[in-house]
Structure 1
Amino acid sequence: MPLYKFVTLNDDTQLLVWKITESHDALFEQVRLKDVCLTRVDGMKSEQHRRGFLSVRMLLQEAGYTDFDLYYTDDGKPHLKNGKNISITHSHQFSAIIISSRNVGIDIEMQREKIMKIACKFCNSEFSYLQPERKDHYIKMLTAIWGVKEALFKMISLPGISFKNHIDVDAFMLNDANGTATVTFEKMNTNYTFLFEEIEGFTLVYSFEATNI
């Protein structure tokens, strides 16, 4: 079973990463799904998407839960029935979850050149410290910034938030593997911390409210 990582962060926060090497059938045989999730998987046209969905259920089981412990609120945010917070992500051959009593967010993204073409759509203040002339470095920085904004968006779960206009990622260094960000939206003006790491050409990001880490 390709459990890539299972670590405890803080006193009550668990981070789990799965490397998806199994077939859809192999994963499907190892998980129990609610009827609504069985229907959802059956309706997925992408094999990759189905494997990502099922690998997240494998991670739940590794953490001591099942699909039956997971539910979603009307805003699309996942929760666990025992009151714990959970955030979920999957991309290509990796999936990850983070579970905590705190509000948390997680994202994993493949590092790809095409992110340079869309940087202007999600970056604003960040251009003050980015270095486009350092191509590989630029791609890694952009991937981390996108991951931060995606993780924070999952935490906040409010319609209308713009990655470019409402979420600012402060200057950071790749070697530091952490940083801070601010969300300014309507009545919100909230600070967050984030951590990130590279995993086989992917960037994994997870975030917390600033007072919680």
Structure 2
Amino acid sequence: MIRCITYKFHTLHTIIIVFIWKHFLETMILRTLSLSDQEKVFLKSLSEKRKREFLGIRYVLKYINIKMNIFYNERRKPFLFPEGKHISLSHSFEKIAIAISSYRIGIDIEKLRENKKIIKIKKKFIRDDESIFIHPNYEEDYLHIIWGIKESLYKLEGGIFYSFLDHYKVSPFCLKRDSCVSCWIIKKSYSKRFSAFYRKIEKHYLVYIIDK
């Protein structure tokens, strides 16, 4: 069954939803879904885990009465039809986050894990000028938030700039319950500043960036 909705709020012509899904690949639930031909083809290309997430998102969109179809471009960036709205999606273990906005948007949700995995890979996404403001007592929190910001920037930009070290930068910030953080997409010709927002939901960090 799906428990809807863990978290829901509106901001800047945007709706953001976080929900829990568990064991919903049941015949009676799948019968309630009506997929387009493109969605059926795309579904066949996914792993079993991704299939569950794919179907869970569509089930919840129907549950909250959003009557739009999700399609994917050549970079597998999701977009809505009819046009006029932007969408961003993220998954982390049992939680899925959906953002639907009048603006371009990127969203990420990450679970704080006990295996220290994110510390082991920090050299892949933490710049030298970012490492200096990370408090050692709260390193994992900072790393999850910074990863979420860069992942959200990557999604907002459409997956064009792939290096989390070269193409994205996070300005210094202090941990707060709900906070706004300055961040950048760095291009060869120019850089653009954005404001990232993060919230802690149970054992997950939710991050979103709206290009207003």
Whether the TM-score (by the shorter chain) exceeds 0.5 is yes
**CA 1:177 to 1:29, structure 2 compared with 1: closer, same or farther past 3 Å?**
farther
Unaligned runs of 5+ in 2: none
TM-score between both structures, scaled by the size of structure 1: 0.86
RMSD value, Cα: 2.0
CA contact (8 A) 1:59 1:96 kept: no
* AA of the residue aligned to 1:204: L
How many residue pairs end up in the alignment?
Answer: 204
Mapped pair 1:199 → 2:191: no
Structure 1 position 89, deviation (Å): 1.0
Aligned counterparts, 1:25-174, within 5 A:
25=26, 27-46=29-48, 48-66=49-67, 69-81=69-81, 82-112=83-113, 113-124=116-127, 125-132=129-136, 134=137, 137-174=138-175
* AA of the residue aligned to 2:31: E
Quote the sequence identity (%): 28
TM-score between both structures, scaled by the size of structure 2: 0.87
Q: How far, CA to CA, are the matches of 1:174 and 1:159 in structure 2?
A: 29
**CA 1:142 to 1:199, structure 2 compared with 1: closer, same or farther past 3 Å?**
same
Q: How far, CA to CA, are the matches of 1:157 and 1:183 in structure 2?
A: 12
Q: How far, CA to CA, are the matches of 2:85 and 2:155 in structure 1?
A: 15
Secondary structure of the structure 2 residue equivalent to 1:174: coil
Q: How far, CA to CA, are the matches of 1:160 and 1:13 in structure 2?
A: 24
CA contact (8 A) 1:194 1:205 kept: yes
Q: 1 or 2, which has the higher helix percentage?
A: 1
* AA of the residue aligned to 1:131: H
CA contact (8 A) 2:39 2:71 kept: no
CA contact (8 A) 2:19 2:97 kept: yes
Q: How far, CA to CA, are the matches of 1:85 and 1:91 in structure 2?
A: 21
Among 7, 29, 33, the alignment partner of 2:9 is 7
**CA 1:62 to 1:7, structure 2 compared with 1: closer, same or farther past 3 Å?**
farther
Q: How far, CA to CA, are the matches of 2:7 and 2:85 in structure 1?
A: 20
**CA 1:165 to 1:103, structure 2 compared with 1: closer, same or farther past 3 Å?**
same
**CA 1:131 to 1:6, structure 2 compared with 1: closer, same or farther past 3 Å?**
closer
* AA of the residue aligned to 1:28: L
